[in-house]
A and B are shown apart, each in its own frame.
Chain A
């Protein structure tokens, strides 16, 4: 644990913690809105900001924040315009951002080596000034994504309904992409601009495999993000690898592990299964043999299935429905 006494590692761990907690927070809304690749695009746009900062000799983080926010606003306005060409315009914006960044960095003799610190994350490059900015931006992201959870959730799930309730839907949509842009730049030092999208999306997918409900999986995704980001930074110290790659590999390993767990949980939650009545003329009631010493109920051990307006219990391969003093065969 000697890395804890190294100042650069302390900074890297704090930055990782903040990236891990903020990325899945905004990612939950982006996934709900089916815009999982938005973070990737914003990362590409932010590269232009980094290139500009390297070319002009200014601090990269504030320039990247500004560039990503401008890009986010353009993306959202294009999306709201609803034009078919918006798709192509976004692709141009994304690759234009990447190319501009690489070009500007190259022009001033800062090769892809310096740039790759921002693309894949780096333990050594985080300054104390960066950390303060990251801390302030992370606070903004957390306060908004948690405080406005009902509003943002409503806008992401059903825009029309949100409008009829009088919510300023356009403003909230803009807020989501701007927050995503800020998150991308918050995470760029640790995860890197090319991989930040994974930390926004994968923990959310893992959490929704394991828990039901938006709020519960929102907080689980944040916890998973923190574990992956911090573990990735510690691991990369020992492996001498860029932290971003390790963080992403850990998040994806978590997702893969969640699949068998989710299957197990599903079996455990089988009482939630529903069979819809689709037959307008169901079979006539058929009384089962009497159940001696056993009555079906929520804890009887038999698998329960919701069948239209009542519950059946699976018993010897049949569905038994309680009906008065006896059971019907379904």
Chain B
């Protein structure tokens, strides 16, 4: 299905990404439309995180095209529309309150040397309320549980004027009950109109809410379309069985 330009949030055409001279992603052509809740799945080393990084311009691509909101990535500057929630392990916060972490999400609109505006404050409060952590604003970030830290990182992304939310393995290292509540939060944001792209190891609690599933294998798209019926593990079959369990627990290295 060809989407009209205004409805396309992410579009890639024959995307090629090489790292250290090795092709990591080849011939990636995907399209994500407004309002979708798309899972990007695949086993370890299939290129999920690299694809997300390439879409966001964090990793350069060597061939093909990336369009964000119908604009070629190189010309895209409307960063306030994109909220990025990286893997929790990639964040290096030693000394900060929850509110200070969420406040950094306003920087796509805030100018250097500008003081915190009333809009900034109300967006920060609203973002914290949206993830159910309004009462933790003054709490030190490092003392929160894994699931709560994940919520803070989602709030940080929501603090801008986000139309697209990109989450990299939000379920890594949090238990099933917390996964359920995070899935509920992500589903609620999507229902309220935010387009969501989420990197997942297994569909888990999000399975019933997904509108689309993109499955990568060895750097290529092997499936686009309806999410799998059952929660499936997309790992290489030759891997020892404890491997996916371990990566699920300790988070996957990018």
Contacts and interface: CB of A to CB of B under 8 A. Distances in A.
Interface in B85-105: 86, 90-97, 100-101, 103-105
Contacts of B104: 150, 153-154, 157-158, 161-162, 165
Contacts, number: 112
B237 interface: no
B140 interface: yes
A271 B88 CA distance: 25
A156 B93 CA distance: 8
Interface of A: 31-34, 147-148, 150-151, 153-154, 156-158, 160-167, 208, 212-215, 217, 272-274, 276-278, 280, 308
A208 B107 contact: no
A244 B103 CA distance: 38
A164 B82 contact: yes
Given A213-B96, A274-B148, A276-B146, A167 B107 contact: yes
B160 interface: yes
A293 to B, nearest CB: 28
Given A34-B92, A148-B112, A213-B140, A277 B177 contact: yes
A151 B160 CA distance: 15
Contacts of B53: 160
A272 B98 CA distance: 13
A153 B91 CA distance: 12
A313 B147 CA distance: 22
Closest 7 CB pairs of A and B: A166-B79, A165-B108, A276-B145, A154-B104, A164-B84, A213-B97, A147-B113
A280 B148 contact: no
Contacts of A167: 107-108
A158 B58 CA distance: 12
B175 interface: yes
A73 to B, nearest CB: 21
Nearest to A275: B145
A150 B148 CA distance: 22
B176 A280 contact: yes
Given A213-B97, A274-B148, A158 B91 contact: yes
Contacts of A166: 77, 79, 108
A158 B107 contact: no
Contacts of B110: 150
Nearest to B181: A309
Nearest to A207: B95
7 contacts: A34-B94, A153-B104, A161-B104, A165-B108, A213-B96, A272-B140, A276-B145
